[in-house]
Amino acid sequence: MTPNELPAGSAAFPAAVIPRLPAESTPTVQFQDVCLSFGEVHALDHVSFSMNPGETRVVLGAAGSGKTMLLKTAVGLVMPNSGHIRLFGEEVTGRKEAQLFDLRARVGILFQEGGLFDSLIIAENVAYPLLNQHAIEQSHAPSEAEVKQRVREALRFVELEHTLDKFPSELSGGMRRRVGIARAVVTAPALVLYDSPTAGLDPITANTIIALILKERDLRNTATIMVTHRYQDGHLMANFRYNPSSGEIEPAASSQKTTRFLVMREGRVIFEGSQPELLASTDPYVQKFARPGSA
Ligand SMILES: Nc1ncnc2c1ncn2[C@@H]1O[C@H](COP(=O)(O)OP(=O)(O)OP(=O)(O)O)[C@@H](O)[C@H]1O
Ligand SMILES: [Mg+2]
């Protein structure tokens, strides 16, 4: 724990002298009137939203509506034409590539295509962001043993420790998705972006993937943005939690106010609200994504 994280009134800092803690008041992600065009196509059209540490956003929308671009601009992999994006309170827009690395090192990403390197074994794939992160923070480069340990832990987290020496091509689609999650969380990031983590999976495997995402979120209070086509994924994120004592997913005692839904259409966020608000929407486009069993 750093002095900044000390609770108000703790012995070391009497309440009267504690400054306001920026970590608690600074949004993890902030989009302000963000526009991104490819020729005539408005991939992002005046997008604004904000989320705080530990919160969840579920992003729904038709193919081509801008969901992937929302995630890619969030970490500066694609720069918008206008507007402002801040991560952890720091400006992403206009930042030089070299200065983006330190911000990206605090974010885990599961890419839509999975993004595993076919020529690397699973252990090397999972180690990749860890080695990258420490190349940036050269001050504490990890030993080889430490990297191995962290990779093992991340793979154990997704119950795939036995695949360390395999190539991605030797794993099923669901297993590759789990390796992708291990790689996204190996650095213990404060924010994880999941792009369509359940796409193309059978319902049982899809639920296993969401259970892992819940486990990551609830064990470490990770801020989470999840793009999905499945209403069920959002429903689970909003109403379930990981119970560390039982190791199981269980219904959350109260409906999770920290999970909000965004629905995108042709680059615009046409809906933002809680699950009950999503279900109550009378917009036919929004309704398409608000039904159990919807695409
Ligand atoms: N590099 C690019 N060049 C031109 N157009 C692009 C590029 N990347 C994205 N687009 C366009 O931007 C729009 C938004 O794309 P995006 O990938 O964000 O959609 P999506 O909502 O993620 O779709 P899907 O559900 O199919 O993954 C689409 O019209 C897409 O064709
Ligand atoms: Mg996409």
Q: What is the DSSP string of 191-233?
A: EEEEESTTTT--HHHHHHHHHHHHHHHHHHT-EEEEE-S-HHH
pLDDT tens digit string along 217-232? 999 999 999 999 999 9
Q: pLDDT at residue 8 above 60? A: no
CB atoms within 10 A of CB 159: 13
pLDDT, mean of residues 279-295: 84
Q: Residue 158 domain-assigned?
A: yes
Is the CB of 68 inside a 6 Å radius of any atom of ligand 1? Answer: yes
Report which of 267, 279, 261, 226 is spatially closest to residue 287, judged by C-alpha positions. 279
Q: Residue 171 domain-assigned?
A: yes
Is the CB of 73 inside a 6 Å radius of any atom of ligand 1? Answer: no
Q: Residue 199 domain-assigned?
A: yes
Residues paired with 60 in a beta bridge: 263
Three-class SS state of 110: strand
Q: Among 128-132, 148-152, 278-282, which is the least confidently predicted range?
A: 128-132
Instruction: Write the residue with the smallest CA distance to atom 28 of ligand 1.
Output: 64
What pTM value is reported for the model?
0.88
pLDDT tens digit string along 29-87? 999 999 999 999 999 999 999 999 999 999 999 999 999 999 999 999 999 999 999 99
- Please compute, for residue 150, the number of CA atoms within 13 A of its CA located in the half-sphere on the CB side: 22
pLDDT tens digit string along 115-141? 899 999 999 999 999 887 766 565 567
Is the CB of 224 inside a 6 Å radius of any atom of ligand 1? Answer: no
**Among the atoms of ligand 1, which is closest to the Cα of residue 227?**
22
State the Cα–Cα distance between residues 217 and 192, nearest whole angstrom: 9
State the Cα–Cα distance between residues 221 and 226, nearest whole angstrom: 15
For residue 5, the 8-state DSSP code is G
CB atoms within 10 A of CB 16: 7
State the Cα–Cα distance between residues 42 and 269, nearest whole angstrom: 12
What are φ and ψ of residue 6, in 5° steps? -65, 135
CA 41 / ligand 1 centre spacing (Å): 9
**Among the atoms of ligand 1, which is closest to the Cα of residue 66?**
18
Q: Residue 244 domain-assigned?
A: yes
* Span between the terminal Cα atoms of the chain, in Å: 44
Q: Residue 160 domain-assigned?
A: yes
CATH of the domain at 58: 3.40.50.300
- The one-letter code for the residue type at 139 is S
Instruction: Write the residue with the smallest CA distance to atom 20 of ligand 1.
Output: 64
Domains identified in the chain, total number: 1
Mean pLDDT across the chain = 87
Contacts of 95 (CB under 8 A, 6+ apart): 76, 103
Q: Residue 79 domain-assigned?
A: no
Instruction: Write the residue with the smallest CA distance to atom 4 of ligand 1.
Output: 38
Burial 178-196 (b: 16+ CB within 10 A, else e): bbbbbbbbbbebbbbbbbb
Domain with 215, as residue range(s), is: 52-64+95-289
Is the CB of 80 inside a 6 Å radius of any atom of ligand 1? Answer: no
Give the angle subtended at the CA of 36 by the CAs of 32 and 39, to the nearest 5°: 160
pLDDT, mean of residues 190-214: 93
Q: Residue 219 domain-assigned?
A: yes
pLDDT tens digit string along 161-200? 999 999 999 999 999 999 999 999 999 999 999 999 999 8
pLDDT score at 24: 60
Residue 5 — pLDDT band, cuts 50, 70, 90?
very low
Q: Residue 1 domain-assigned?
A: no
